[in-house]
Structure 1
Amino acid sequence: MGTWSLPSSPEIEQLKELNKLLTAKEFQTRMEGVVLLLDHCKNNPQLISANIVQIFDVFVLRLQDSNKKVNQQALESLAAMIPLLGDGFHPVLVPVVAAVTDNLNSKNAGIYAAAVKVLDANKSSLSDNVLLLQAFANRVRFLSGRAMQDVTDRLSVLVASVSRRRRPAVERYALPVLWHLLGSMIGNGVLPGRGGNVRSAVARLAGSLHAEMGASLAERAAGQPPPVAKNLRDRIRGPCTKLGGQETCPAQGFQGLKLFALFILYV
């Protein structure tokens, strides 16, 4: 059995001070707590990694702080922390992704830019992108508007980087997202409510999955409800239009032609 590495007395005091600052009533003091946490990540990352769940239970609240200055500083600092912590960041990935992605619909340009920076830092700093793929995939259905589009786009990029090593993970996490989005779309790529138009993002996700899965994507689509298969066909070849009573369905490039041909066979 392994042994626990308990913090020393000085480290316990450091953690208490950090918690006190991060939970302070005054926003300036909370900002000091954010600065202190980043300093600890730079100077003693082992301390933070060993206690990361307890620390981030508090710090995650600052990622959605009611004070915009604290909110933005926490996001910007987090983007700098992730490379310093590396895989030590894994235990808090899910709650952090949830908090950060909520900022993607912010009307504050600084907060939005900082949130995007955090998402990109995750992809470049974590050795196992399957965890990030899972976190993004599980989050998409709870998002709307720009946040949904941004996360779906990053999911498309992750599909290629993960699938080369662990294709089952792609099929387990990314495919349900594609089916969910295609099944929810109404009109010309619009999601109901505040979902907005996600046509381009869904097309990119479908393209990434097809590039990795080939004909099996069409086979899987055959088992989905008809609206899902139809929307996928439209994303690949472009929507059909009627002119003079004749329907014309443009194909979007060579890959689109190949995948559409597969749909003729399977769907």
Structure 2
Amino acid sequence: MKIKNIAFIGLGNMGFYMAKHLVKKKYKIFPYDINKNNLKIFYDTTKIKKENFLNSIEKIDCVILMVPSSKEVNDIIFKNNKLSQKLKKNSIIIDMSTSIPTETLKIGKKLNQKKIKFYDCPVAGGVKFAKTGELTLFFGGTKKNNEIVRVLECFGKIIWCGKLGSGHSLKALNNFINASILNTYLEAITTAFKFGIKKNFLINAIDQATTGKNHPYFKKIKDGILMKNYNSGFTLNLLTKDVQIANDLIKKYVKNATISSNILNLLKKSKNKLGKNSDQLKLYKMWSNKI
């Protein structure tokens, strides 16, 4: 099915810019947000015609959800907006929220009975890359579909993850890995500094060791914390949310999985002390006792 008319639900910090990319690519957009001010600003900045997507539901080919969690996704589809009852057959719903994989599977099963196609595609990269259209997208639920590819490429790079729920799973697990590596580095560099090792010797040693060559080191440690730059654009609250999803998934399939539980507890403690909207790089203050 050709995708022309898209309902975009969730014009928050990231969704606002993502929806604007669709407008630029000449898709017909039906935006919606429970925050009426967000919706007003979107119409004011894009100058598109104001239309209620529920009043035009028969035109909608694809619905994109960029909301906080599985709860909101479930409410929009089955309760508040009742998309499952109103969308035409073979229409598409893409959940780009940070949702729980097991809930995604339940929603997909229900929608399949209604002949509505459901895919998961959470994003990584934060507001910075939402603005530039350079997000990383974890897509689950189907093989490559040219119409879906055209839509998603408006937002960034697509990583194909497999069956439904795999996108939400891999995004959470990926951030669990990142959180684990970040805290491993923080424990090590805090120890090095307290031992009296100078920063330039520390960086030189890590740079020449094979264990030092990874994304969290270059982006978060070397160019971030060690340069006293604590603005990665990703909050402790969001990181904790992802690791919680990963931890729940890991415990379902792996016995005695202590690493994810320990990282989750550390993040929760840090969030309580530093504030949920603190940048993830301010975890260094916890390790260095500078709070």
TM-score, normalisation: structure 2: 0.25
More helix per residue: 1 or 2? 1
Greater relative contact order (Cα 8 A, min sep 6): structure 1 or 2?
2
Q: Radius of gyration: which is bigger? A: 1
More strand per residue: 1 or 2? 2
